[in-house]
Chain A
Amino acid sequence: MQASGINVLFLGRNFARLIEGLWVTMRISLLAVLLSIPLGILLGMFMTLRHPLAKAVSRVYLEFVRIMPQLVLLFIAYFGVTRAFGWNWSADFSAVLVFTLWGTAEMGDLVRGALQSIPKHQYDSAAALGMTKWQTFAHIILPQTLRRLLPPTINLTTRMIKTTSLVVLIGITEVLKVGKQIIDVNRFAYPTASLWVYGAVFILYFLACWPISLLARTLEKRWR
């Protein structure tokens, strides 16, 4: 009976549990995003320094975090660090840490690109007006950089929200895991449960990411 499959979503606390699972996902990813943006801006500024050591350090960090699959980083943080140093990081902490490390690296590279895309004559004309380096950065460079950063940052945010589904592998029960549990329990009563539950998860992810895209579009229009 295909049509009754949708009922599985509203059995008992199923729907509420899915929402709670989504909240776990959102909490981890938004916390990581909120930390990554300011840290990434600092890293991006650091990366534009001409000092060879600054270049080398940021290069190594960036490549390390980017080349390593996020799952491996999660395992290192959650299992590896405990074994090696005896630090018992919770799964939530490990997840936020790893996604922040990753987000900071990605954000840093975006910021570096945006900063370097500001034409040199913007610096010159600010200097010619008698503005100090700091005034130039605060009033001329940063506002233009932020405008350029908006689309890629939104893209990164939604990527981070989606990638958080990996945390299930270090034992965090987020929205996908809840879905899996609901499907397993109702396998015999509702053979089509997987379609409905995963469909619901898809819509939940969409509802979580869509307002962010909308906000970005509004800001882009206002700043154009």
Chain B
Amino acid sequence: MAAEETIQLEIAGLQKKFGDDVILDGVDLTVRKGEVVVILGSSGCGKSTLLRCINGLEPIDGGSILIDGEAITPGAKNLTRLRQKIGMVFQSYDLFPHKNILDNVTLAPIKVQKRTKEDARTEAEQLLLRVGLWEKRKAYPRELSGGQKQRVAIVRALCVNPEIMLFDEVTAALDPEMVREVLDVMLELAQGGMTMLIVTHEMGFARAVADRIVFLDEGKILENLPAEEFFTHPRTQRAKDFLQTFEFNKQ
């Protein structure tokens, strides 16, 4: 899991507002190739917005986001090309309901990357096999459970061969018994050397998967530490309070 030196993602002075509300206030973050960064913070701290800014789903109000040295700018011509370097999985398992699983995951490789059907299909089937859903390739999303849909969504993002994967609270809408199967897939990806940026509320998972924890509060990065250090010796009171909320002690 050792990160290489190549910088994959570089965010500097990122500003984002919704009307008068400042959502992100001068965020600086560098992610190296192969690194797994988990973003923690209470609801409304700007975690999801940060991920949405990274692949240009939200216009930004200041600062810069560079992927492999190229700036992400919503509306710019190179955006669709840059987005192929970024895979994103959302909280709402948002597969395309009118397409079967195989068509869902091969749509972008065929239409966006102009790869041949056979080529796209071969890769898709291999990935589906890896997440244990090859048997479901002809099924439609409505026939799958939440956890299965979310695993398909991960495969769909992987099929464009991204260099970095963004996960936005992908287990938050799942029944508890389905969370595990999704997290296992992510853990395997992390071990395979994928660069990942994960927003989650699963503390145990965060600790297991992360190289580094970024703690976000009111749009600012308060802590940016190696995972173990964050969980054992958080520096700020806010982070201590945050971690406290996940602990239960018998009175």
Q: Which residues of A contact B (CB under 8 A)?
A: 119, 121-122, 124-132, 135, 139-140, 143-144, 147, 223
B84 CB within 8 Å of chain A: yes
Cα(A223)–Cα(B112), bound, Å? 25
Dominant secondary structure at the A interface: helix
Do B94 and A135 touch across chains, with their CB atoms under 8 A apart? no
Between A and B, 23 residue pairs with Cβ closer than 8 Å are A119-B92, A124-B57, A125-B88, A125-B90, A125-B153, A126-B96, A127-B56, A128-B55, A128-B83, A128-B87, A129-B107, A129-B112, A129-B156, A129-B157, A130-B81, A130-B83, A130-B112, A131-B112, A132-B80, A139-B107, A139-B111, A140-B96, A223-B98
Known contacts A127-B83, A131-B108, A135-B112; is-contact A121 B57 (Cβ 8 Å): no
Q: Give the complex CA separation of A45 and B97 in angstroms.
A: 21
In the complex, what's the smallest C-beta–C-beta distance from B84 to chain A, in angstroms? Answer: 4
Which residues of A are found within 8 Å of B98, using beta-carbon distances?
A: 143-144, 147, 223
Residues of B within 8 A of A119 (CB): 92, 94
B80 to A131, Cβ gap below 8 A?
A: yes
Inter-chain contact A129/B160, CB cutoff 8 Å: yes
Tell me if B112 and A124 are in contact (CB < 8 A). Answer: no
- B57 cross-chain contacts in A, Cβ below 8 A: 124, 127-128
Residues of chain B touching chain A, judged by Cβ–Cβ distance below 8 Å, are 55-57, 80-81, 83-84, 86-88, 90, 92, 94, 96-98, 107-108, 111-113, 153, 156-157, 160
Q: Is the CB of B83 within 8 A of A122?
A: no
- Distance (Å) between the CB of A219 and the closest chain B CB? 13
By a CB distance below 8 angstroms, the chain B residues around A143 are 98
Q: Which partner residue on chain A sits nearest B140 by CB separation?
A: A224
| Interfacial chain A residues near B55, Cβ < 8 Å | 127-128
A121 to B153, CA, bound (A): 13
Q: Which residues of A contact B96 (CB under 8 A)?
A: 122, 125-126, 140, 144
With both chains docked as a complex, state the minimum distance between the C-beta of B52 and any C-beta of chain A, in angstroms.
Answer: 8
Which residues from chain A contact B92 at a C-beta distance below 8 Å? 119, 121
* Interchain CA distance A125-B87 in the complex, whole Å: 10
User: Distance in Å from the Cβ of B150 to the closest Cβ of chain A?
Assistant: 12
**Shortest beta-carbon distance from A136 to chain B in Å:** 10
Report the minimum CB–CB distance from B99 to chain A (whole Å): 8
Q: Which residues of B contact A135 (CB under 8 A)?
A: 111-112
**Residues in chain A near residue B97, CB distance under 8 A:** 144
How far is the CB of B160 from the nearest CB of chain A, in Å?
Answer: 6
Q: Would you call B108 and A121 a contact (CB within 8 A)?
A: no
Residue of B whose beta carbon sits closest to that of A127 = B57
Residues on A with beta carbons closer than 8 Å to the beta carbon of B108: 129-131
A124, A125, A130: the one contacting B84 at CB < 8 Å is A130
User: CB < 8 Å: which of A124, A128, A139 contacts B86?
Assistant: A128
**CB-defined contacts of A128 to chain B, threshold 8 Å:** 55, 57, 83, 86-88, 90, 157
Choose one: B94, B111, B113; the contact of A125 (CB below 8 Å).
B94
State the CA gap A127–B55 with chains docked (Å).
9
Q: Which residues of A lie under 8 Å from residue B83 when comparing CB positions?
A: 127-130
Once A124-B57, A135-B112, A139-B111 are accepted as A-B contacts, the answer to whether A130 and B160 lie under 8 Å apart by CB is yes
Residue of A nearest to B112 (CB): A130
Q: Is the CB of B90 within 8 A of A121?
A: yes
A121: which B residues are within 8 A, CB to CB?
90, 92, 94
5 nearest CB pairs, A to B: A129-B108, A130-B83, A128-B88, A121-B94, A130-B84
**Shortest Cβ distance from B114 into chain A, in angstroms?**
11
Contacts of B156 in A (CB 8 A): 125, 129
Complex contact A130–B80 (CB within 8 A): yes
Q: How far apart are the CA atoms of A127 and B166 in the complex, in Å? A: 14
A132 to B57, CA, bound (A): 13
- Name the B residues within 8 Å of A127 (CB-CB): 55-57, 83
Please give me the residue from chain B that is nearest to A144 by CB atom. B98
